[in-house]
């Protein structure tokens, strides 16, 4: 069980340290953790946000525990040198095309979400976000219009195989979870989305037990706060999934609670909180590490088949929250380390 630990920038360092403490406390006999630089810190040390040494470490590992990348000092760099390219590069390079982002409200947090408690109580959602395509990976650049204006462009595209493989992930998840799959697109405007919808409908024929629906992304954003309980699984593209999952985090209380798994064809996976490096609170012991701790649980489940250990971590997080251990993101005053301690105490 060799895990590459890529803590990255800002609160990535702080939250990953707590997840590592939790993993070590499980005393798994074969656990091996190897640190590697990624993001802005890697750029500063090695001249690249995803140095070859880091890729080497990752390729020799069974899974990645990832913190976050992003550093305001690096925002003026050429795009290929910016910290965010590291996470995009890892996802693409390693073929991690399926990003699972569960959003479930923990018992006792129903009053602390951005929704009315009776609405929040119903949320038990999995967002399946495509991670290797869409506008994030299309041709992009700056050009000058015939009229002399500067123009930025980013090409949005999906080919049918890319849609088909993520559709299968969505259908399988929906089958396991409760039977409803909602495919979110913008087929009323975008050709990319029209193909997405056509292919999802094709794939649906293989999953007669799954109730498939389609929703435009603008409506989905609204429905997510109006009645999140209507969704079991949402399958959507890279951009829409990125946005809707940040929104879903506030339906369960905080972005500091949402974990994720990025998977490819095999057991290898990258596990990270859905949030970024949060420069506004970095280095202040204010970050909630629970999303990263829960990502470590997803890693044990998906990459190593350690269901009991994963459930143990999840139960410890739930108990810590039920005991009132809350960071500033949930209106409490527990620090990052204190939250980590509380999870450890409840393991
Ligand atoms: N996967 C990754 O590494 C990601 C990296 N980023 C990068 O992170 C940097 C900051 O981006 P933002 O748009 O500000 O998004 P962000 O997710 O870092 O922060 C958004 C807001 O949520 C708060 N927040 C985030 N995580 C929290 C936690 N664990 N506990 C308590 N509060 C938390 C922050 O303080 C901030 O107010 C940028 O450079 C961005 O590109 C953003 C998202 C994902
Ligand atoms: C920083 C971006 C590359 C990605 C992002 O916001 C995300 O994956 O949630
Ligand atoms: Mg995001």
Per-residue pLDDT reduced to its tens digit, 49-89? 999 999 999 999 999 999 999 999 999 999 999 999 999 99
Q: What is the pTM of this model?
A: 0.98
Indicate whether 117 and 188 sit together in one domain. Answer: yes
Q: What is the pLDDT of residue 179?
A: 85
Question: Residue 247 falls within a domain, yes or no?
Answer: yes
């040198």: which residue's tokens?
Answer: 81
Tell me what percent of the chain is helix, strand and coil, each rounded to the nearest 5: 45, 20, 35
**Catalytic residue check, 329:** no
Q: Tell me: do 214 and 288 sit in the same domain.
A: no
Give percent of the chain with pLDDT exceeding 70: 100
Is 222 found in the same domain as 124? yes
Note the ipTM here: 0.99
User: Read out DSSP for 257-285?
Assistant: G-EEEEE-SSS-EEEEESS---TTTTTTT
**CB contact at 8 A, 129 and 101:** yes
136 in catalytic set: yes
pLDDT digit string, tens, across residues 212-263: 999 999 999 999 999 999 999 999 999 999 999 999 999 999 999 999 999 9
285 and 269 together in one domain:
yes
211 shares a domain with 243: yes
Does 88 sit in the ligand 2 pocket, CB within 6 Å?
Answer: yes
Q: For residue 105, what is the DSSP state?
A: P
Model pLDDT, residue 17: 98
Question: 151 lies in which domain range?
Answer: 113-252
Report pLDDT for 178: 80
Where does a domain end: 252, 268, 300?
A: 252
**Residue where a domain stops, chosen among 252, 270, 296:** 252
Helix or strand (DSSP H, E) at 319: helix 307-322
Q: Is residue 108 part of a domain?
A: no
Q: Is 266 found in the same domain as 234?
A: no
Say which of 242, 271, 326, 329 is annotated catalytic: 242
| One domain, residues 198 and 274 | no
Q: What CATH number should be reported for the domain holding residue 53?
A: 3.40.718.10
Q: Is 190 in the pocket of ligand 1 (CB under 6 A)?
A: no
Domain boundary among 215, 233, 252: 252
Q: Which residues have beta carbons under 5 A from ligand 3 (an ion)? A: 242
Confidence of residue 106 (pLDDT cuts 50, 70, 90): very high
The Cβ of residue 17 has, within 10 Å, a number of other Cβ atoms equal to: 17
Q: Is 2 a catalytic residue?
A: no
Query: Do 60 and 177 have their domain in common?
Result: no
Question: Is ligand 2 within 6 A of the CB of residue 242?
Answer: yes
Question: Which residues are CB-contacts of 298 (< 8 A; sequence separation ≥ 6)?
Answer: 100, 259, 260, 261, 269, 271, 310
């Amino acid at each position: 069980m060799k895990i590459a630990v890529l803590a990255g920038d800002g609160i990535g360092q702080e939250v990953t340290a707590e997840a590592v403490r939790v993993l070590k406390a499980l005393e798994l006999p074969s656990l091996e953790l190897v640190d590697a630089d990624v993001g802005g810190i890697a750029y500063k040390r090695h001249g690249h946000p995803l140095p070859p040494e880091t890729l080497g470490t990752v390729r020799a590992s069974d899974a990645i525990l990832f913190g976050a990348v992003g550093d305001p000092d690096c925002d003026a760099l050429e795009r290929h040198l910016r910290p965010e390219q590291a996470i995009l590069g890892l996802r693409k390079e390693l073929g991690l095309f399926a990003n699972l982002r569960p959003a479930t409200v923990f018992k006792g947090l129903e009053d602390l979400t951005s929704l009315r408690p009776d609405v929040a109580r119903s949320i038990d959602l999995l967002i399946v976000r495509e991670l290797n395509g869409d506008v994030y990976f299309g041709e992009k650049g700056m050009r000058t219009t015939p009229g002399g204006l500067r123009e930025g462009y980013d090409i949005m595209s999906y080919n049918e195989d890319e849609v088909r493989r993520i559709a299968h992930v969505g259908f399988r998840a929906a089958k396991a979870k409760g039977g409803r799959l909602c495919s979110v697109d913008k087929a009323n405007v975008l050709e990319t989305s029209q193909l997405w919808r056509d292919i999802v409908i094709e794939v649906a024929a293989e999953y007669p037990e799954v109730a498939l629906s389609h929703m435009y992304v603008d409506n989905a954003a609204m429905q997510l706060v109006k009645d999140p309980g209507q969704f079991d699984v949402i399958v959507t593209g890279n951009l829409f999934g990125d946005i809707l999952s940040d929104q879903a985090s506030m339906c369960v209380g905080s972005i500091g609670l949402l974990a994720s798994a990025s998977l490819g064809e095999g057991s290898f996976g990258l596990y990270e909180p859905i949030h970024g490096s949060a420069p506004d609170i970095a280095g202040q012991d204010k970050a909630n590490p629970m999303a990263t701790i829960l990502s470590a649980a997803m890693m044990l489940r998906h990459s190593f088949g350690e269901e009991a250990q994963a459930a143990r971590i999840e139960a410890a997080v739930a108990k810590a929250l039920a005991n009132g251990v809350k960071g500033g993101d949930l209106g409490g005053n527990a620090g990052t380390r204190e939250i980590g301690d509380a999870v450890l105490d409840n393991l």
